[in-house]
Amino acid sequence: MTTTLQKIIKIRQPQLQYTIMKEIAHRLSPRYFSDKKIPKNHLNIIFEAARWTPSGRNHQPWYFYYAQKGNSSYQKLFSTLNEKNQSWAKTAPLLILACSQTHNEKGENPFAFYDLGAAVLSLVLQAQSLGYYSRQMGLFDKEKVKKIFHLLPNFEPFIIIAVGKIGDYKNAPPEIVEMDLDPRPRKIDIYKEI
């Protein structure tokens, strides 16, 4: 008998034209997580991967704040999400706020958001290699985040990442199952020699 999770994984399995590394090929952004906490040693590994991401002029213009479910910071960060994201993110045991340091003592950094995206990808792929899945959210109240967490003026909150073990979809609300059963098609023709 095929479980809902097996159906989701099958429908989300990419139709590869070429063999690529497994963390990319099997990347999945679920909307239903197990409540199992992420141990501190795994958190350290996940953030270490982000730390070693290449960046323009080696400025490393990223900063991450994290909150584990069950503490007041988690609830505060969760409260900044829009209603649709709250409907599923409530199952994630970990929320990470990814911020871009837009300028420093050397001036404005035009590559800050590009570099932050690269660091987030490193973090997501490292988490997946440890058996954790991630889903990124851009729809949240950035001004509220700045006030709640007293962010420095040059730290721009950009994305919130839900992280955890994938949950048992037999317990998921039907609307979450329906969203995750939607295939993730990719464009075919994305590059050309010049």
Q: Please, what sign has the CA dihedral across residues 118, 166, 4, 89?
A: negative
Which of 112, 128, 67 has the alpha carbon at shortest distance from 94?
A: 67
Say if residues 98 and 159 touch (Cβ distance below 8 Å): yes
Collapse the DSSP code of 137 into the 3-class scheme (helix H, G, I; strand E, B; otherwise coil) and give the result.
strand
Reference 89, options 108, 109, 67, 110; nearest CA is 67
Sorting pLDDT into bands at 50, 70 and 90, what band is 188? confident
Q: Does position 1 have pLDDT exceeding 60, yes or no?
A: no
**Residue 105 confidence (pLDDT):** 84
Q: What's the token pair of residue 127?
A: 């988490």
Instruction: Give me the domains of the chain, ranges plus CATH numbers.
Output: 35-180 (3.40.109.10)
User: pTM of the predicted model, to two decimals?
Assistant: 0.94
Confidence of residue 2 (pLDDT cuts 50, 70, 90): low
Across the range 90-105, mean pLDDT stands at: 95
Contact at 8 Å (CB) between 169 and 34? no
Token reading at 164 = 């955890």
Contacts of 18 (CB under 8 A, 6+ apart): none
| Band (93; pLDDT cuts 50, 70, 90) | very high
Percent of the chain with pLDDT over 90: 82
Residue 163 has pLDDT above 60, yes or no: yes
Residue 66 host element (H or E): strand 62-68
Task: Judge whether residue 185 has pLDDT over 90.
Answer: no
The pLDDT confidence band at residue 108, using thresholds 50, 70 and 90, is: very high
Distances (CA, A) of 50 to 35, 53, 112, 137: 24, 5, 14, 18
C-alpha distance from residue 47 to each of 31, 59, 95, 164 (Å): 22, 17, 13, 14
Average pLDDT of every residue of the chain: 94
Q: Report the candidate in 22, 30, 21 with the shortest Cα–Cα distance to residue 133.
A: 30
Give the mean model confidence (pLDDT) for residues 99-121. 94
Residue 184 has pLDDT above 80, yes or no: no
